[in-house]
Amino acid sequence: MRTIRIFDTTLRDGEQSPGAAMNIGEKLQIAKQLARLGVDIIEAGFAITSPGDFEAIKTIGGEVEGPIICSLARAKDADIKRAWEAIKDAPKRRIHTFHSTSEIHLKYQFRIDQAEALRRSVEMVKLAKSYVDDVEFSPMDATRTDIGYLCEVTEAVIEAGATTVNIPDTVGYSIPSEFGALIKTLHERVPNIDKAIIAVHCHNDLGLATSNSLAAVLNGAGQIECTINGIGERAGNCSMEEVVMALRTRSDLFNADTNITTEEIMRSSKLVTKITGMSVQPNKAIVGANAFSHESGIHQDGLLKEKSTYEIIRPETVGLHKTKYVLGKLSGRHAFKTRLGELGYTLSDDELNTAFERFKKLADQKKEIFDEDLESLIAQEDTTVPELYSLEDMHISSGFNEQPTATIKIKIGGEAIEKTEHGDGPVDAIFKAITSITGTKSNLIKYEVKAITGGTDALGEVVCSLEEDNKSVSGHGADTDIIVASAKAYINALNKLAARKR
Ligand code: KIV
Ligand code: ZN
């Protein structure tokens, strides 16, 4: 049985999804979860692109134990030096450098010939190698690159010190038989290929990213680059949960597995959804809300008799636990802490105090507190940003023959300001009041409400995405009152925008 390395790029390629920008705290939170999940490598960012990305990589390198921490770098001196600065304190570190190799990119984007691209690639791999042993090189747009030249580049970068060569299907153009054959050809024609791990990085433009990655494994690839929920540039990247569960479920065929603790998949998926504001479609494989529900009577009949009739993966294997009533108003601190522990959360005393306070408030509003409610409480705790604006009070009135009106009080740097506005509906009225108090000029690009658990007293969760100056962020709010949750989400998004300006 081979072990396929999982290289997670949720924090780099995943963050390239429109609206998925994350702050340092959020990236750290995801990185910690990726470590619990058991990924081998975390691509924590692209150090040269912004001071925020640089800091995030550095922080993750200092605080997250287990996986190799990696920064992306173009094949340029300054990029590689910056990547090194960002990862140097991490106990296990990697520089991932890349250069385009396809004729289309070299001719139209770089205006250089193959020899020059080869020279730059080799030189930059050597530079990266002078800082760190673990160097990955990607010939970008590999699937549209002349195969002879791709073999030549692969051989040369391995000779220069690359320990992993990653073959990206940058524009999601390949199909499984072709991509598998490409990986096979590299193994046959590159004489020093056994000195490096061959990785694959597939985009999902034709919906084939997972299939292509699996075809590559069948032909010798030893590392898969992927993201949680398959988020990423355009149609996204290979989805981690799909590729991992395909390998696990069909290990008979692949004769390969990964180091992933699959029971952490659902929690990772939910966390990424919450932080990026990118929801998962209900019928998405493995992590979609319907992935384990059976509607047809014939299927239900079969399942009741024997699970394997219609179930190829046990829901518990991916961390899906049945919603059950766990805590309520009378539950004490000890029960609260114990249940959090059972769900895999270890909080410091301070974090526990704040979370318990929130829990008590929630328990006053809601009879039964489910595991999902607890997870939402903890996530709120984790995703806080510096609060320039804080919601102090709100009052709403709306009805059949009444124009919806919202009076909101917000504290801005110690001063409380109150305003009243009207709107088409109560949410419109509160958003107008918040905008008028804060004087902000962002556009609302997404507003989504969902119930975390069932029942009319369910905790409602709202995601608001705002855009300003070509930057977009997603804010979250949870409350038993969805109007309050909406105000919290809007203010959370404004705080994130404000934090990005500082
Ligand atoms: O898709 C791509 O080619 C990339 C490279 C940087 C590996 O993301
Ligand atoms: Zn990519």
Ligand nearest to the CA of 233: 2
Terminal-residue alpha carbon distance, the chain: 50
The per-residue pLDDT for 384 is 59
Pick the more confident residue, 48 or 458: 48
CB atoms within 10 A of CB 30: 30
Choose which residue among 79, 201, 224, 231 to substitute to test ligand 1 binding: the one with the highest number of ligand atoms within 8 A of its C-beta.
Answer: 201
Ligand nearest to the CA of 164: 1
The per-residue pLDDT for 90 is 98
Distance 15 CA to ligand 1 centre (A): 13
Within 8 A by CB and 6+ apart from 448, the residues are 277, 279, 462, 463, 464
pLDDT at 501 over 60: yes
The burial class, CB within 10 Å (0-12 / 13-18 / 19+), for 288 is middle
Ligand nearest to the CA of 140: 1
- How many alpha carbons lie under 13 Å from residue 232 in its C-beta half-sphere? 29
Mean pLDDT confidence for 427-439: 96
pLDDT at 345 over 90: no
The per-residue pLDDT for 380 is 66
Give the angle subtended at the CA of 471 by the CAs of 468 and 472, to the nearest 5°. Answer: 90
Nearest CA to ligand 1 atom 4: 170
Pairing state between β 415-422 and 135-140? unpaired
Ligand 1 contact via 168 beta carbon (within 6 Å):
yes
d(CA 125, CA 116): 14
Q: State the chain's mean pLDDT as an integer.
A: 93
Structure tokens at 259: 């180091």
Mean pLDDT confidence for 295-322: 87
Ligand 1 contact via 227 beta carbon (within 6 Å):
no
The per-residue pLDDT for 382 is 55
Ligand 1 contact via 24 beta carbon (within 6 Å):
no
Distance 170 CA to ligand 1 centre (A): 6
The per-residue pLDDT for 277 is 86
The per-residue pLDDT for 381 is 60
Q: Per-residue confidence at 346, pLDDT binned at 50, 70, 90?
A: confident
Nearest CA to ligand 1 atom 1: 170
Distance 409 CA to ligand 2 centre (A): 44
pLDDT at 116 over 80: yes
Ligand 1 contact via 426 beta carbon (within 6 Å):
no
Atom of ligand 1 nearest to the CA of 225: 7
CB atoms within 10 A of CB 283: 9
d(CA 157, CA 150): 11
The burial class, CB within 10 Å (0-12 / 13-18 / 19+), for 81 is middle
Atom of ligand 1 nearest to the CA of 72: 6
Choose which residue among 9, 17, 98 to substitute to test ligand 1 binding: the one with the highest number of ligand atoms within 8 A of its C-beta.
Answer: 98
CA distances, 72 to each of 14, 46, 135, 181, 303 (Å): 13, 5, 10, 27, 46
Smallest CA-to-CA distance from 268 within 490, 10, 95 is with: 10
d(CA 99, CA 75): 6
Nearest CA to ligand 1 atom 5: 140
Distance 389 CA to ligand 2 centre (A): 36
pLDDT at 494 over 60: yes
DSSP assignment of 337-356: HHHHHHTT----HHHHHHHH
The per-residue pLDDT for 322 is 62
pLDDT at 31 over 70: yes
Mean pLDDT confidence for 67-95: 98
The share of the chain scoring above pLDDT 70, in percent, equals 98
Amino acid at 79: D
pLDDT at 73 over 90: yes
d(CA 233, CA 14): 7
The per-residue pLDDT for 364 is 87
pLDDT digits (tens, 9 = 90+) for 120-152: 999 999 999 999 999 999 999 999 999 999 999
pLDDT at 62 over 80: yes
The per-residue pLDDT for 458 is 77
Helices (H), 161-260: 176-189, 209-218, 240-249, 251-254
pLDDT at 235 over 60: yes
Ligand nearest to the CA of 168: 1
Do the Cβ atoms of 34 and 257 come closer than 8 Å?
no
Mean pLDDT confidence for 108-116: 98
- E strands, 364-470, in order: 368-370, 389-399, 402-412, 415-422, 443-451, 460-468
| 176-180, 419-423, 444-448: least confidently modelled range | 444-448
Structure tokens at 344: 């895999």
Give the angle subtended at the CA of 460 by the CAs of 315 and 32, to the nearest 5°. Answer: 55
| 20-24, 71-75, 91-95, 431-435: least confidently modelled range | 20-24
Give the angle subtended at the CA of 161 by the CAs of 157 and 163, to the nearest 5°. Answer: 90
d(CA 475, CA 269): 17
Q: Per-residue confidence at 323, pLDDT binned at 50, 70, 90?
A: low
* Dihedral, 422, 423, 428, 430 alpha carbons, nearest 10: 10
The per-residue pLDDT for 108 is 97
The share of the chain scoring above pLDDT 90, in percent, equals 72
Q: Per-residue confidence at 172, pLDDT binned at 50, 70, 90?
A: very high
pLDDT at 475 over 60: yes
Nearest CA to ligand 1 atom 2: 170
CA distances, 303 to each of 135, 180, 300, 312, 314 (Å): 48, 36, 5, 11, 12
pLDDT at 347 over 80: yes
Atom of ligand 1 nearest to the CA of 203: 1
Q: How far is CA 457 from the centre of its chain?
A: 30
pLDDT at 383 over 70: no
Ligand 1 contact via 170 beta carbon (within 6 Å):
yes
Ligand 1 contact via 140 beta carbon (within 6 Å):
yes
Q: How far is CA 478 from the centre of its chain?
A: 20
The per-residue pLDDT for 452 is 75
Do the Cβ atoms of 70 and 61 come closer than 8 Å?
no
Ligand 1 contact via 45 beta carbon (within 6 Å):
no
Atom of ligand 1 nearest to the CA of 138: 7
